[in-house]
């Protein structure tokens, strides 16, 4: 509720100041995005705590689940960055951010893929 209210209020202010000062409106938009993402930190802590408890109950290790969580984090950050760039009418920058995000996610997944290929090679 708080996040929605803050986002709507910021959008209104940005609309009002865009004609007068587009740079300031962009900066306000970026700051609002950062504040909203940081405000989700409390919820993320609870989710991570639940995940840690699930790990303890079922005997999974953090190293096994970390790549997926990293990919998720990369997706959120690259999506937010790309959309901010599109709001500033910079489609090329947005595409570059998305590509960088995909490459980072692939880099995070690569050790797992290599480990699997080693296992398959061992079987053959």
Partner 1 sequence: MKKLLLVLLLFPLFCIGVHAEASADRTFELFDPAQMQSGLSDEEREIGGAISAGGYDVSAAMKRLWRSFAAKLKAQLHEELGFASKLLVLVFLSAFACSVCPEEKTRGMIEICAVCLAAVLLTGGMSSLVTETSDAVFRLSDYSRAALPAVYTAAAASGGVSSAAVSYAQAALALDVMMSISRKAVIPMIYATLSLTLADVVFPNPMLAAVAKLTKWAAKTALTWTTLAFTALLGMSSLITTRMDAAAVKATRTVMSSALPVVGGMLSEASSAVLAAGSVVAGCMGAFGLIAVCAVCAGPFAVLSVKGLLFKAVAAVAESTQSPQLQRLFQGIDGAVGLLMGLLGANAVMLFLSFAAAMKVVA
Q: Which residues bind partner 1 (CB under 8 A)?
A: 51, 54-55, 57-60, 64-65, 67-69, 71-72, 74-76, 78-79, 98, 101-102, 105-106, 108-109, 112-113, 115-116, 119-120, 122-124
> What does each C-alpha distance from 69 to 47, 84, 95, 98, 102 come to in angstroms?
11, 23, 23, 18, 14
The Cα 104–Cα 107 span in angstroms is 5
Q: How far is the CB of 87 from partner 1 (least distance, A)?
A: 15
Toward partner 1, which CB reaches closer, 13 or 51?
51
> What does each C-alpha distance from 63 to 13, 29, 53, 84 come to in angstroms?
44, 35, 15, 32
Q: How far is the CB of 78 from partner 1 (least distance, A)?
A: 7
Helix (H), strand (E) at residue 2:
helix 2-18
Tell whether the torsion through CA atoms of 96, 100, 103 and 105 is positive or negative: negative
Toward partner 1, which CB reaches closer, 83 or 90?
83
Give the pair of three-digit tokens for residue 41: 């930190």
Toward partner 1, which CB reaches closer, 17 or 38?
38
Toward partner 1, which CB reaches closer, 41 or 59?
59
């Amino acid at each position: 509720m708080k996040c929605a209210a803050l986002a709507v209020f910021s959008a209104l202010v940005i609309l009002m100041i865009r004609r007068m000062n587009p740079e300031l409106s962009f900066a306000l938009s970026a700051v609002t995005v950062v504040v909203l993402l940081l405000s989700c930190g409390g919820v993320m802590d609870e989710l991570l705590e639940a995940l840690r408890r699930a790990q303890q109950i079922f005997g999974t290790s953090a190293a096994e689940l970390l790549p997926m969580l990293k990919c998720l984090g990369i997706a959120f950050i690259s999506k937010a960055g790309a959309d901010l760039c599109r709001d500033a009418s910079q489609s090329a920058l947005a595409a570059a951010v998305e590509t960088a995000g995909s490459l980072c996610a692939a880099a995070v997944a690569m050790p797992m893929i290599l480990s699997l290929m080693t296992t398959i090679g061992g079987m053959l």
